[in-house]
Amino acid sequence: MKIAFLDKLTLGNDINLDKFNKFGDVVTYDYTTPAQTLNRVQDIDIVITNKVVIDQDIMDNSNIKLICIAATGMNNVDLDYAKSKGIVVKNVAGYSTPSVVQLTFSYVLHFMQKLSYYDNYVKSKKWQDSPIFTNLDVPFDELQNKKWGIIGLGDIGKNVANIAKSFGCEVSYYSTSGMNKNTNYKQTDLDTLLKESDIISIHCPLNDTTSNMINKTNLNMIKDKTILLNLGRGGIINEKDLADIIDQKELYCGIDVVTKEPIEKTNPLNFIQNKDRIVITPHIAWASKQSRERLLEGIIANIEEFVL
């Protein structure tokens, strides 16, 4: 069989793909533009894509038999049309949960502990000139007894909740679908969660319900000194409204996803004046080395299930 990786670079250069050779001839592309896609998949049996779009035109003009999505989200493939063509589409779920949870707490501890300030204090050589053994110029708080609100209590949200609870946080959640009735944590409406929480972390998908869910109408409800995190999808938070409010009130934000990725030069988040109040990472929450290895094992399992 012929197998093509269309955007190998999204999996990292430290990942070995040799295990795929047992299935047939493997060709890899670091990335693939829309204009290049058809030419690269025309004679391919199995396509592996993270973000490269496989639409009706591609399927009509190729011999694709299996599409393996190197992710959980499947919005880059026309699933209904693939089904009508008899093309199997498989994703990998659950592989990234520990990695996303880890970045969530990395953000929180970074802001809570004021790590940037104290790291810079030492590196600027101010500590060595101090008459005392410590420095407490910027007070920092403990997580214990903080109110942590979670938007989206799926597998990732539940793991965040469990660890937050172990830190002594009071956890509540808002179900964006309205279907989650988890009784281990307090369920609340969105406005109440935003008004009462000291930490707010977003772990829900982007859909018609959640698009632009956090915007100027409810960002003003959030208390000063609150930590707001988006580890769901870009587009859930209105980026222009967020940029405006960070320069108006003391709000701290960890953002791993933006509406258009890679981030555009004109994105309002690039122009925030109070840069100490925001940390932006390039969509890395899913991508620990172990997470990416689990992802590849999931893809291999999907191919084995298809060929056997």
How far CA 24 is from CA of 20, 137, 210, 288, 303, in Å, comes to 7, 62, 42, 28, 11
For this structure, is 203 an active site residue? Answer: no
For this structure, is 233 an active site residue? Answer: yes
This prediction has a pTM of 0.95
In the predicted model, is pLDDT for residue 13 greater than 90?
Answer: yes
Rounded to 5 degrees, φ, ψ at 57 are -60, -40
What average pLDDT score do residues 244-252 get?
Answer: 96
pLDDT at residue 70, rounded to an integer: 98
Question: pLDDT digits over 129-177, tens only?
Answer: 999 999 999 999 999 999 999 999 999 999 999 999 999 999 999 999 9
Cross-strand partners of 144: none
What average pLDDT score do residues 261-270 get?
Answer: 98
Instruction: Please state, rounded to an integer, the average pLDDT across all residues of the chain.
Output: 97
Is it true that 2-93+289-307 and 97-280 share their CATH fold? yes
For this structure, is 305 an active site residue? Answer: no
* CATH, range 2-93+289-307: 3.40.50.720
User: Which of 40, 233, 292, 294 does the annotation list as catalytic?
Assistant: 233
Fold of domain 97-280:
Rossmann fold (3.40.50)
pLDDT at residue 210, rounded to an integer: 97
User: Which of 261, 297, 304, 305 does the annotation list as catalytic?
Assistant: 261
What average pLDDT score do residues 91-105 get?
Answer: 98
User: Which of 40, 203, 283, 292 does the annotation list as catalytic?
Assistant: 283
Question: pLDDT digits over 38-53, tens only?
Answer: 999 999 999 999 999 9
Nearest Cα to 278, choosing from 103, 143, 99, 110? 110
In the predicted model, is pLDDT for residue 232 greater than 90?
Answer: yes
In the predicted model, is pLDDT for residue 259 greater than 90?
Answer: yes
pLDDT at residue 64, rounded to an integer: 98
Domain-wise residue ranges, the chain: 2-93+289-307, 97-280
Question: pLDDT digits over 183-195, tens only?
Answer: 999 999 999 999 9
- Strand 46-49 vs strand 25-28: parallel, antiparallel, or unpaired? unpaired
What average pLDDT score do residues 240-256 get?
Answer: 97
Percent of the chain whose pLDDT exceeds 90: 100
Q: pLDDT grade, residue 308 (50/70/90)?
A: confident
